[in-house]
Structure 1
C-alpha cells in the first residue's frame, strides 16, 4: 500500500500517511529524519494494515524506515531509496 500525500492549501505542508501491510505483526513503527529517528507507532487497522500520519514541510526529502516487530524494513512503495553509511543499508525516501 503506497504512502499517501495530501498537500495543505493553508500552509506549505503535506499530510503524509504511512501505510504498511503486516497482518501477522503485533507492532509497526516508523522512524526517520522527520522525527529525528525517533519511533512513531502506527495503528493497526482491521484489514491488517498499520497506518500513521504526520505533517511535513514541503519541497524536501525525508529518509525513513519501518520497524516491524523489531525488524527494520523499507517501504516497497517508497518514492526512492538512498544508501545510508551509518546503517550500511538503503533507507526509504518520501519526497514532498
Structure 2
C-alpha cells in the first residue's frame, strides 16, 4: 500500500506492508534510489505494519519493487500500473 503526502516541491510516498509478510527484512528498491537494496528498508510501525518514506519530485513517475530476504522480489499489489515486471508510482 502507498500513502502519499504532497508537499510544496515534492511528494512524500510511504511504502507500507503487513508486518509479517514476507518474513525478514524488506526494502523498497527503485529508480529513485538507483535500484540499490537496503537504502530504504521498511521499519516496524506501532500499528503492526512496516513502512519507509521516500521523497520524490511532484509530477514524476517511478518504477519500483520490494526486495525481501532470500533474494525474493515482489510488486505492490495495491498499485494498478506496471512497467514490465515492476510496479509504477505516479506523483
TM-score by length of 2: 0.85
Residues 14-67 of structure 1 show CA distances to partners (whole Å, capped at 9, x for unaligned) of 010001224151111110010111122110235542200011101111000001
Supply the distance in 2 between the matched residues of 1:21 and 1:81 (Cα, whole angstroms).
21
Match of 2:27 in 1: 29
Supply the distance in 2 between the matched residues of 1:67 and 1:59 (Cα, whole angstroms).
25
Structure with a larger share of its residues in strand? 1
TM-score by length of 1: 0.81
Aligned counterparts, 1:16-95, within 5 A = 16-24=13-21, 25-39=23-37, 40-45=40-45, 47-69=47-69, 70-83=71-84, 90-95=85-90
Unaligned runs of 5+ in 2: none
Match of 1:87 in 2: none
Superposed CA RMSD: 1.6
Runs of 4 or more above 4 Å deviation: none
